[in-house]
């Protein structure tokens, strides 16, 4: 059967076949290299991603199974797995750009990506222009002869703005530049950016795809075979490759992706809705709330709205710090996408290097709290949050 839904395809992952039968699960090939009888086959495998497996920095059957599974979910032609989300992002940026090139990136970016773009501009002469995530005209206005790439995130951190993927990708295509979309917060179950005109999708598989907070990984999916081969070849040289065991754990986690996303989204809806009515809360940011600036766009692009939300405490920085010390079920930790609910206070952790003005420019308040909602029982989550709010 060919037209299976994503919820079924994540369960029935592609498996490398063995003589005469196929294992139910993807085997772990924990080996650094492969042995050859024929030196010509050896040589051929070093030069292309679809030859024989040679060395784990180039390719490995377990890693390849992960690449095929994620590529299939995103509707791509092929994928390159990496040792982390930043490894995947840097493989793309460094593999496709050169000094003097110009990149247009949305203003609200994952911290590591913003840091890297800044570093590449300071040390390697990359030119970067930031635009709003929902303004195709700003892309048209920013394009120059040396513009190579538009960089977007489906759902941004921590204020959960949703990018206008169809409009932004179309503007990039008109200008003849590539679009790269970080789809980590949505997962391919909620959004498939290639269907909206993107050329490349990146993920931190650390988050929803693996789903159990037990590894760091990343992956890049391509709409085009030539682009895939170019980045694969650069990935072999850069060495930000994916370890087979991390790939195996990611595949194992991915089989429950659809179930987990359903619960993450449902729990986020319960918490976001109830937070909205609480007197200690000044504002709630979750794209599934009708008064969120991205609501209409999000409803067009996604069947549900993700598991990350943030809210502003009326009591500001002090209330943020107090909330963190009172909450119990939600764990005080970075990252997202695992089964446990995690909470952080951007002003004192992830964005502590920003002063009040810098926080304001990023749209983050001193009392903003970010929740990465897990799959616990929603009433336990809410009781914990309500208790911490009532103590303020
Ligand atoms: C976590 C994250 C990254 C970086 O991924 P790592 O696996 O931590 O390297 C990139 N983009 C987004 C949106 C993320 O959440």
Tens digit of pLDDT for each residue in 114-141? Answer: 999 999 999 999 999 999 999 999 999 9
pLDDT exceeds 80 at position 173: yes
Buried b (16+ CB within 10 A) or exposed e, 282-307: bbbbbbbbeebebbebbeebbebbbb
Of the given ranges (1-10, 93-102, 223-232, 235-244), which has the lowest mean pLDDT?
1-10
Cβ–ligand 1 distance for 182 under 6 Å, the answer: yes
Please give the distance, rounded to the nearest whole angstrom, from the Cα atom of residue 142 to the centre of ligand 1.
26
Cβ–ligand 1 distance for 84 under 6 Å, the answer: yes
Catalytic residue among 29, 58, 110, 228: 110
Query: What's the pLDDT at 50?
Result: 93
Cβ–ligand 1 distance for 94 under 6 Å, the answer: no
The tens digit of pLDDT for each residue in 336-361 reads 999 999 999 998 888 887 788 888 87
Question: What is the best residue among 117, 184, 193, 211 to mutate for testing ligand 1's pocket, by most ligand atoms within 8 Å of CB?
Answer: 184
CB atoms within 10 A of CB 239: 11
Residue 44 among the catalytic residues: no
**Which stretches does DSSP call E strand in the chain?**
78-82, 102-106, 127-131, 147-153, 178-182, 200-204, 218-222, 281-285, 308-313, 331-332, 342-344, 368-372
Catalytic residue among 15, 57, 317, 322: 57
pLDDT mean over 378-383: 98
Please give the distance, rounded to the nearest whole angstrom, from the Cα atom of residue 207 to the centre of ligand 1.
8
Query: What's the pLDDT at 363?
Result: 81
Cβ within 8 Å of residue 389, ≥6 positions away: 278, 280, 281, 323
**DSSP 3-state assignment of 262?**
helix
Distance CA 64, CA 16 (A): 9
Please give the distance, rounded to the nearest whole angstrom, from the Cα atom of residue 41 to the centre of ligand 1.
37
Cβ–ligand 1 distance for 134 under 6 Å, the answer: no
pLDDT exceeds 70 at position 1: no
How far is it between the farthest Cα atoms of the chain? 73
Domains of the chain by range and CATH? 6-254 (3.40.640.10), 257-390 (3.90.1150.10)
The tens digit of pLDDT for each residue in 276-290 reads 989 999 999 999 999
Distance CA 133, CA 55 (A): 40
Cβ–ligand 1 distance for 204 under 6 Å, the answer: yes
Structure tokens at 187: 């997962």
Distance CA 281, CA 335 (A): 23
Which H or E run contains 67? helix 61-74
Q: Which atom of ligand 1 is nearest to the CA of 157?
A: 13
For all residues of the chain together, what is the average pLDDT?
Answer: 95
Distance CA 320, CA 300 (A): 33
**Where do we find the tokens 């496709």?**
96
Omega before 56 within 30 of 0, i.e. cis: no
- DSSP lists the bridge partners of residue 251 as none
Query: What's the pLDDT at 357?
Result: 84
The tens digit of pLDDT for each residue in 148-168 reads 999 999 999 999 999 999 999
CA atoms in the 13 A half-sphere facing the CB of 38: 7
Cβ–ligand 1 distance for 370 under 6 Å, the answer: no
Band (295; pLDDT cuts 50, 70, 90):
very high
Structure tokens at 264: 């993450």
Indicate which residue's Cα is closest to atom 5 of ligand 1: 85
pLDDT exceeds 80 at position 309: yes
Query: What's the pLDDT at 89?
Result: 98
The tens digit of pLDDT for each residue in 24-52 reads 999 999 999 999 999 999 999 999 999 99
CA atoms in the 13 A half-sphere facing the CB of 179: 29
pLDDT exceeds 90 at position 88: yes
Query: Are the CB atoms for 285 and 309 separated by under 8 Å?
Result: yes
């Amino acid at each position: 059967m060919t037209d299976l839904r994503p919820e079924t395809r994540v369960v029935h992952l592609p498996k490398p076949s063995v003589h005469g039968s196929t294992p139910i699960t993807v085997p772990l090939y924990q080996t650094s290299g492969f042995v050859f009888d024929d030196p010509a086959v050896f040589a051929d495998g070093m030069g292309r991603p679809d030859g024989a497996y040679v060395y784990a920095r180039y390719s490995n059957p377990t890693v390849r199974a992960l690449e095929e599974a994620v590529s299939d979910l995103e509707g791509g032609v092929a994928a390159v797995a990496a040792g982390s989300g930043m490894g995947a992002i840097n493989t793309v940026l460094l593999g496709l750009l050169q000094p003097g090139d110009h990149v247009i990136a949305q203003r609200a970016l994952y911290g590591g990506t913003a840091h890297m773009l800044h570093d590449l501009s300071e040390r390697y002469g990359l030119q970067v222009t930031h635009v709003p995530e929902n303004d195709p005209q700003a892309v048209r206005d920013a394009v120059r002869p040396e513009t190579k790439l538009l960089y977007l995130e489906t759902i941004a951190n921590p204020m959960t703005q949703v990018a206008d993927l169809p409009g932004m990708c179309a503007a990039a295509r008109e200008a003849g530049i590539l679009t790269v979309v970080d789809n980590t917060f949505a997962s391919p179950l909620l959004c498939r950016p290639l269907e909206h005109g993107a050329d490349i999708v990146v993920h931190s598989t650390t988050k929803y795809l693996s789903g159990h907070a037990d590894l760091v990984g990343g992956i890049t999916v391509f709409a085009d075979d030539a682009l895939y081969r170019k980045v694969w070849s650069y990935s072999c040289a850069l060495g930000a490759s994916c370890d087979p065991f991390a790939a195996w754990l990611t595949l194992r986690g991915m089989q429950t992706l659809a179930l987990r996303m359903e619960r993450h989204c449902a729990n986020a809806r319960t918490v976001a809705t109830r937070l909205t009515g609480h007197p200690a809360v000044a504002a709630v940011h979750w794209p599934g709330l009708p008064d969120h600036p991205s609501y209409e766009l999000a409803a067009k692009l996604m069947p549900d709205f993700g598991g990350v939300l943030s809210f502003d405490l009326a009591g500001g920085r002090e209330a943020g710090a107090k909330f963190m010390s009172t909450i119990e079920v939600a764990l005080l930790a970075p990252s997202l996408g695992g089964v446990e609910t995690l909470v952080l206070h951007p002003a004192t952790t992830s964005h502590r290097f920003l002063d009040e003005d810098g926080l304001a420019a990023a749209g983050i308040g001193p009392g903003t709290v970010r929740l990465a909602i897990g799959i616990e029982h929603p009433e336990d989550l809410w009781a914990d949050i309500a208790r911490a709010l009532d103590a303020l």
